[in-house]
Amino acid sequence: PNWEHRVRASARPRSKTGFTVLVTGAAGFVGTHVSLGLKRRGDGVLGLDNFNQYYDIGLKKARQGLLERSGIMVVEGDINDVVLLRKLFDAVAFTHVMHMAAQAGVRYAMQNSGSYVHSNIAGFVSLLEACKMANPQPSIVWASSSSVYGLNSKVPFSENDRTDQPASLYAATKKAGEEIAHTYNHIYGLSITGLRFFTVYGPWGRPDMAYFFFTKDILRGKEIKIFETSDHGSVARDFTYVDDVVKGCLAALDTAKKSTGSGGKKKGAAQLRIYNLGNTKPMPVGRLVSILEKLLKVKAKKKVIQMPRNGDVPFTHANITLAHTELGYKPTTDLEMGLKKFVKWYVSYYGSKKKKSSW
């Protein structure tokens, strides 16, 4: 197919750093920003995305347009397509894989459980199999989630805290991904770094996330529901700005050891790491809404509901000491500054009028 020719012609030679990275989920929110970040510093980047229908494909296509204008090709395909993966790894000697493809969201699982198993478990295994067989074997950095800490964790969450109480199928599949990563590390010598993201937000964001649909509904004058719990006080999340997360992802790539193909017990063993990438400043959802009201200059119609939202962990808070020490990770964007950038993007993309859209 056309992409094979284009991959051979473009992806490999364009790396100025010696890094050639396959980004899965490249047309997704974080995948787009990570791809741009890699490209900006001179890495060779090739994207892969199946453009699933979880939310507005138009938005994914617009992100793809942005990437292509920056010289990043996005191949349309699924990480479960082993033939496609083999062709990609044959065509390009990837040094790294940045694995951002997943079925995200917690409530969608109630009707679409198979999609989580397909992308987050089977798809991850399929990708790791391709990495295992590739020559050279790439190092892998992938997105886990703060959701693995589940319901009973103390806060702030540290990497060694218990993760045995997932509050959603999504969380369970991310936890399963971490176990699978362990296996491919110690049996097959793949170097794998899992990053537990905490509620990432920013321009080109995901329409299913609260900051995004609150913005849409506030602008349309529609009532917004704010879920609170009486046991834990306000629901609060450790909102983390996407540029900070991208810096963490790039640092994880830079510090990743080479895959050795020799298993964990031998000399030069490949590494397996897990890091929290959060902001360390949990914010009540009510505060998020008041910042949005200020930025949009519109008073929200609020309905406060005294219970947690189904599938959500009521309070998230990252301890980022490990990422700071080992990756130099240091988030710098506070919620108001980050939302300002999001709102600016939102208004330029959708307009500030109460117009209809497909999502």
> Binding residues for ligand NAD, per CB under 6 A?
24-25, 27-31, 49-52, 54, 60, 78-80, 100-104, 119, 123, 143, 145, 197, 199-200, 206
Interhelix angle for 335-350 vs 210-220, to 10°?
60
Task: Read off φ and ψ for residue 358, nearest 5 degrees.
Answer: -85, -5
Helices (H), the chain: 2-10, 29-40, 57-69, 82-91, 113-116, 123-133, 169-188, 210-220, 242-255, 285-296, 321-327, 335-350
Q: How many CB atoms lie within 10 A of CB 114?
A: 11
Min separation Cβ 265 and ligand NAD, Å: 29
CA distances from residue 64 to 35, 130, 212 in whole angstroms, order as listed: 10, 24, 20
Min separation Cβ 219 and ligand NAD, Å: 21
Q: Which residues of 247-264 are buried (b: 16+ CB within 10 A; e: fewer)?
A: bbbbbbbebbebbbbeeb
CA–CA gap between residue 224 and residue 337 (Å, rounded): 22
Min separation Cβ 221 and ligand NAD, Å: 27
| Token code pair at residue 180 | 């699978």
Closest residue to bound ligand NAD by CB: 28
Helices (H) and strands (E) in the chain — how many of each?
12, 13
CA–CA gap between residue 158 and residue 313 (Å, rounded): 15
Active-site annotation holds for 275 = no
DSSP code at position 330: -
Min separation Cβ 311 and ligand NAD, Å: 13
CA–CA gap between residue 80 and residue 91 (Å, rounded): 18
Question: Of the two residues 50 and 95, which places its CB atom closer to ligand NAD in the complex?
Answer: 50
Question: Of the two residues 47 and 189, which places its CB atom closer to ligand NAD in the complex?
Answer: 47
**Residue tagged active-site, from 55, 149, 170, 211:** 170
Question: Of the two residues 79 and 134, which places its CB atom closer to ligand NAD in the complex?
Answer: 79
Question: Of the two residues 28 and 44, which places its CB atom closer to ligand NAD in the complex?
Answer: 28
Min separation Cβ 119 and ligand NAD, Å: 4
Question: Of the two residues 51 and 350, which places its CB atom closer to ligand NAD in the complex?
Answer: 51
Q: Which residues are catalytic?
A: 170
